[in-house]
Amino acid sequence: MATSKSLSADLARGLDLARAGEYFAAHEALEDAWRAAEREEKDFFQGLVHVVVAWYQAGRGNETGCERQLEKAARRLSPFAPEHRGVDVAALLGQVEAAQELGSLQLRPLEVLSVDSE
């Protein structure tokens, strides 16, 4: 079920890892959430996976891989803006757009913002 504690825990863990710059580990936690999600939310979680994989690929110097992940992230996350599950999706999409404009290997550290203080 999409509201299960494990799904919420995987989301929180993935976001914390992303904030810490641990993009590969964040990808694994967010994939666990994606697998557990209901169909209506799968694109949200997959979009988050694409974001952290883009930052991971940039760190590895894989410009093509990063650019592809940025495109997929924008497409998957856009329907969930401005926020979903406490994530400031609009701000996250702003970072994705800025990354696309700057050049995918010039990424600033990823900031995953919450819309609440939980």
Collapsed DSSP state (helix, strand, coil) of residue 104: coil
Q: Which domain holds residue 12?
A: 5-102
pLDDT tens digits along 35-93: 999 999 999 999 999 999 999 999 999 999 999 999 999 999 999 999 999 999 999 99
For residues 15 and 118, is the Cβ–Cβ distance under 8 A?
Answer: no
Domain contains 111:
no
pTM here is 0.90
Domain contains 21:
yes
Please give the tally of structural domains in the chain. 1
Domain contains 80:
yes
Domain contains 115:
no
* CATH code (residue 11): 1.10.3450.10
Query: Residue 118's pLDDT is what?
Result: 41
Among the residue ranges 13-17, 28-32, 47-51, 113-117, the one predicted with the least confidence is 113-117
Domain contains 117:
no
For residue 39, the Cα-to-chain-centroid distance in whole angstroms is 17
For residues 86 and 118, is the Cβ–Cβ distance under 8 A?
Answer: yes
Domain contains 107:
no
Beta bridge partner(s), residue 8 = none
Domain contains 113:
no
For residues 15 and 112, is the Cβ–Cβ distance under 8 A?
Answer: yes
